[in-house]
Amino acid sequence: MRQMVNQLQNLPTWGPGQFIDTGKSYMDFDLSPPIQRRSPSLDLQLVLERVSDLFGQKKWQEVIEALDGATEDPLARRFFVEALAELGDNSHTMHGLSNPQNLVEAVILGTAIIESGEASDARRFLELDIVMSETDASLQEIKTRLKRKIAK
């Protein structure tokens, strides 16, 4: 702490001072802890807000990187799948959607495997429960094309 050591208001001189309570030139104190604990869902909300901005800017790779490990939330998963589809990188798509959760994801994954996957990728895809049980025409076409790819 500094205090004025002379009485000249127009030309003050400053020197060391002391707090009256402690007699020292400094004061120790503890910071108050936060009133509430941080909500666990806040982190996800902050990520989704950032991802929404990146999505609007069409920064697909950054969307995918920001959502790494946060795709259990339905909204985050939707952003992730859309960004993979827009990015058009088949290896990213095959890695990111290796376990498709719905028909749309299965179609996107199947298309990526047709375009650049190996026969082992095609076999693994054809053995997925969602692929074996789904009767959708678009998925049936993908299955037919993959079977032809394996046969070559």
Cα angle: 113, vertex 114, 118; to 5 degrees: 55
pLDDT in tens, 65-90: 999 877 889 999 999 999 999 998 99
28 assigned to some structural domain: no
The answer to the question of residue 85 being in a domain is yes
Residue 107 CA, distance from chain mean position:
23
Q: Is 14 within a domain? A: no
Separation CA 139–CA 110 (nearest Å): 8
14: nearest Cα among 25, 5, 22, 1: 5
Q: Is residue 23 part of a domain?
A: no
In a domain, 66, yes or no: yes
Q: Note whether residue 51 is domain-resident.
A: yes
Number of domains in the chain: 1
What would the pLDDT profile of 96-106 be if each residue is shown by its tens digit?
A: 998 899 999 99
Residue 135 within any structural domain of the chain: yes
What's the pLDDT tens digit per position in 2-28? 677 777 778 888 788 887 888 888 888
pLDDT in tens, 22-59: 888 888 888 888 888 878 788 889 999 999 999 999 99
The whole-model pTM stands at 0.70
Residue 85 belongs to domain with CATH number: 1.25.40
Residue 78 lies in a domain: yes
Residues near 62 by beta carbon (within 8 Å), at least 6 away in sequence: 54
DSSP-derived secondary structure for 73-133: SHHHHHHHHHHHHHH--HHHHHHHTSS--SHHHHHHHHHHHHHH--HHHHHHHHTSHHHHH
**Can you give the residue range of the structural domain that contains 91?**
41-151
Share of the chain above pLDDT 70, in %: 99
